[in-house]
Homo-oligomer: A and B are copies of this chain.
Amino acid sequence: MANNNDEKESSQDEKEFIDQDDNDINNNGNGNNNSNNNYNSGKGSKKLVIETGSSIDHLDDGFSWRKYGQKAVKGSIFPKSYFKCAEPSCPVKKQVIQQDLKFINTYSGKHNHDPPELDGSERKKKSNNNNNNNILSSPKKQNNFNGQQPQQQQQQQSPNHQNISIPPQPQSQQKYQSHINLKEQLKEQLKEQLKEAGKLHSEIENNLNDDHN
């Protein structure tokens, strides 16, 4: 009965592939995942999950995203945001949700267009790539970050708060109150992670597709 979504405890800190699509026709949002999902069966990969173990929310991974939805999910206090690649016919989607102190980015699909700046050598090609990094909290509404908030993360129950705030800083963060510099560093660092993961994801998908088609 209790929402056993916090079983995941998220001890892993980098990125991982999950599949879960070999089992269900759609595996949409069924309720309480009582059948603790046998993700790690290690089969055909469908989604790429990246955990951002830092105070960075939605990262600009070289692509431009458009937010098309936001929902409150069962196990978490924080809402989940849904993004779609801004390229007109690209089917890639992406979900971002905060879990404890980090953000879980879930990619799906393969970009059917040349990445705007996936390679570090050629960037700033696409000018429509909006570089505002925290898309989750709209720039006019990130009032959750009023001054400095305590580093609570899971206790309070506010199921209907609208925008993902700048997440609580990591446990040893009291000295980073003036931040902004550290945040930029982490942003750059995570950006590289996301780029690598995106490339890896595309490669694996290509292999799978070539195998079958």
Residue positions of A touching B, CB distance < 8 A: 21-29, 38, 42-47, 91-95, 106, 108-110, 204-205, 207-209, 211-213
Quick check: A109 and B24 within 8 Å, CB to CB?
Answer: yes
Alpha-carbon gap, A109 to B25, bound state (A)? 7
Alpha-carbon gap, A86 to B44, bound state (A)? 24
User: Which residues of the other chain, B, contact A213 by a CB distance below 8 angstroms?
Assistant: 42-43
Tally of this chain's copies: 2
Give 22 A-B contacts (CB < 8 Å), ordered by A residue. Answer: A21-B21, A22-B46, A22-B109, A23-B93, A23-B108, A24-B91, A25-B93, A25-B94, A25-B95, A25-B108, A25-B109, A26-B26, A28-B28, A38-B91, A42-B212, A43-B208, A43-B209, A43-B213, A44-B212, A204-B212, A207-B211, A208-B211
User: Which residues of the other chain, B, contact A94 by a CB distance below 8 angstroms?
Assistant: 25
User: Which residues of the other chain, B, contact A22 by a CB distance below 8 angstroms?
Assistant: 46, 91, 109-110, 205, 209
Across the interface, A106 reaches (CB within 8 A) one of B25, B28, B43, B106, namely B25
Across the interface, A23 reaches (CB within 8 A) one of B26, B95, B109, B212, namely B109
A97 to chain B, nearest CB (A): 12
Alpha-carbon gap, A43 to B94, bound state (A)? 20
With A22-B205, A26-B26, A26-B28 known, 17 other A-B pairs at CB within 8 A are A21-B21, A22-B46, A22-B91, A23-B91, A23-B92, A23-B108, A25-B109, A26-B27, A26-B29, A26-B108, A38-B91, A42-B212, A42-B213, A43-B208, A43-B212, A44-B211, A204-B212
